[in-house]
Chains A and B, each alone.
Chain A
Amino acid sequence: MSDLLLPPEHRYAKLIEQSRNEDGSEFSILNLGPTHPATHGIFQNILLMDGERIIEAEPTIGYIHRAFEKIAENRPFYQINVLTDRMNYCSSPINNMAWWMTVEKLLNIEVPKRAQYLRVIVMELARITDHLICNSILGVDTGAYTGFLYVFQLREKVYEIYEEICGARLTTNMGRIGGFEREWSEEAFKKLNIFLEEFPIAWKEFENLFERNRIFIDRTVNVGGITAEKAMAYGFTGPNLRAAGIDYDVRKAAPYSSYEDFEFDVPVGKSGDTYDRFCVRNAEVWESISIIKQALAKLPEGPIHADVPDYYLPPKEDVYTNMESLIYHFKIVMGEVPVPVDEIYHAVEGGNGELGFYLTSDGSRTPYRLKFRRPCYVYYQAYPEMIKGAMLSDAIVILSSLNVIAGELDA
């Protein structure tokens, strides 16, 4: 049996035996364990260290494996939306909308323009919140707690907007097949406009705290760099890939939900180190603000959902008074709706990269196989290589700048 199949601590123990120095000093094993203040989520890294330097690392994941794919094989489409929330829980509306777009692709449903623009608004809001958390926690890991407290206050404002739209703060379970469940209230638009006025000022202050801060630059520049070729080989997508220099963005490559109507740039870094990742995320927040403003300015009138009574839950007043709506409601909730036999792959630009859903349907009420292409899972493989030769505190900073979210990693 190859050594690589042993648990990492046993393999490292063997290595330590073999390479003991003459003066008795030797390498050591450090368990950057599943519960650790600096790992955002539970994943473990067993490190082989020479003093403070890391020689080798092996990650162990699966500590929050909730078997989403197995659950999805037993649930009709509306109930799978609940699972997608809990994957990248920092930006759940993006996952929700991605799932609805996959189902609409399977069922060949055309979503009206107004619903598409509203989806864009909510997805960009979610992207802003995801980058807010990532960058402020990166600040906390380098010792700056203020940015985190400041930025979380803004996240509360976004939570209030989500509450106006769908009723929940974090795991939003937003949307329906074909659009949204209800028209956005006046209050939602008012809060959104207030947010768009206040947020840029606050974000500029947050950026000023870090971008020319001597200590932050010392901690993050030339730390955890990765070349563009390596990034592509390791399956990087999203801000981590763009920091390495490649401008692949699913919103530009395969526009979905009317993204082609908006003008925005894709910020790209140079060396792929931690500072570049931080700056790329900052720049993406500015681009998201601009997209939301454009969408609000050009928001067309029209229906909030597609006219597909077979798949769209009818409004409650109709269900209680109209026989036909009651029958449709029952059929949709039970999942007895016509579903074609097909294979669909749909990808969106999630907060961390290309979030894809590979759906194989056999015509029954639940998918036959649903695979979530999770960006974190794919690019976390590069972590051992990125920290080889770095110090332990650099390893922590690299980990937070990669924005690995445990829910998405293990699914």
Chain B
Amino acid sequence: MALETAFIQEKLSQTFGNNVFNFEMKRDIFTFEATSDTIHEVIRFLKEQEDLNFHFLTDLTGIHFPDNDDSHQFAVVYQLHNWIKNMRIRVKTYLPENPELETITDLFLCSNWMEREAWDFFGINFKGHPQLKRILNMDEMVSHPMRKEFPMEDSGRTDKDDRFFGRISING
């Protein structure tokens, strides 16, 4: 028998009360939000509860929303999967400027590099992560390139004429 979304919602609300909210069915994946200080416990609950059993972490990603209000500047999205009941679930948590969050490397070994990628690209600090350092970009880089204010192109290039691309010239 499949996991009913109403059942999941009820179990979560019973345990976490107001810390989990915004339950909705985004297309085919059941999505909800959790507050950033309870996210670790929510994910542990989803993993270890026998009737929920979301034992596989599919993805962990960060998103930057510079246009949102101050407490919703960054989001971390976790996607979990239960292979036995064939059910996916998505958990989102929003973070303010200078985002910090507890790591889930003690629950899922594969979140190690996923969190390092989120740190590298967005600057989301995962407290308790064993090795939070740059992974894809150069070690000497100081900025976090996937933030919206960071430009895509190399600002030091001298061989492209910005006039032809309809851009304001940034290097003279």
Q: Which residues of A contact B (CB under 8 A)?
A: 2, 4-5, 7, 61-62, 65, 67, 69-71, 73-74, 105, 230, 232-235, 246, 248, 253-254, 342-345, 347, 354, 356, 358, 360, 368-369, 371, 373, 377-382, 410
Interface Cβ pair total, 8 Å cutoff:
92
Q: Which residues 76-127 of B have a CB within 8 angstroms of A?
A: 77, 79, 83, 86, 88, 90, 108-110, 112-114, 117, 121
B59→A233 contact, CB < 8 A: no
CB contacts (< 8 Å) of B117 on chain A: these are 377
A356 to B58, CA, bound (A): 9
Instruction: Assess the B109–A344 pair: CB atoms within 8 A.
Output: no
| B137: contacting residue among A62, A232, A253, A371, CB under 8 A | A62
Tell me if A65 and B152 are in contact (CB < 8 A): no
B135 at the interface (CB under 8 A from A): yes
**Contacts A105-B27, A345-B90, A358-B77; A381 near B110 (Cβ below 8 A):** yes
C-alpha spacing A383/B87, complex, angstroms: 28
Residues of B within 8 A of A105 (CB): 27
* Given A5-B132, A378-B110, A253:B145 Cβ within 8 A: no
12 A-B pairs with C-beta separation under 8 A: A2-B130, A4-B130, A62-B135, A65-B136, A67-B145, A71-B152, A233-B108, A235-B56, A235-B108, A248-B83, A358-B77, A371-B61
CB closest residue in chain A, given B90: A345
* Distance A377 CA – B79 CA, assembled complex (angstroms): 16
Q: Give the residues in chain A near B8, CB-CB below 8 Å.
A: none
- Are A358 and B113 touching (Cβ within 8 A)? no
Question: Main SS of the interface on chain A?
Answer: mixed
Q: A345-B29, A381-B110 are contacts. A67–B58 as well, Cβ < 8 Å?
A: no
- Residues of chain A within 8 A (CB-CB) of B109 are 230, 233-235, 381-382
Cβ-defined contact, A343 with B26, below 8 A: yes
Task: Tell me which residues across on chain B come within 8 A of A373, comparing CB atoms.
Answer: 58-59, 79
**How far is the CB of B92 from the nearest CB of chain A, in Å?**
9
Q: B27 contacts which chain A residues (CB < 8 A)?
A: 105, 342-344
* Residues on the A chain within 8 Å of B55, using CB: 232
Given contacts A232-B55, A233-B110, A381-B112, contact A358 B79 (CB under 8 A): yes
Q: Is the CB of A358 within 8 A of B61?
A: yes
Q: B131 in the interface, Cβ–Cβ < 8 Å?
A: yes
- Taken residue by residue from 44 to 66, chain B's Cβ proximity to chain A (1 for < 8 Å, 0 otherwise) reads as 00000000000111110101100
- B108 CB contacts on chain A under 8 angstroms: 233, 235
Q: Is the CB of A253 within 8 A of B130?
A: no
B12 at the interface (CB under 8 A from A): no
Q: A62-B137, A254-B86, A358-B59 are in contact. Are A70 and B146 (CB under 8 A)?
A: yes
Tell me the complex Cα distance, A248–B88, Å. Answer: 14
**Complex interface: chain B residues within 8 A of A5 (CB):** 131-133
Q: How far is the CA of A232 from the CA of B31 in the complex (A)?
A: 23
> Measured between C-beta atoms, what is the minimum distance from B38 to chain A in Å?
22
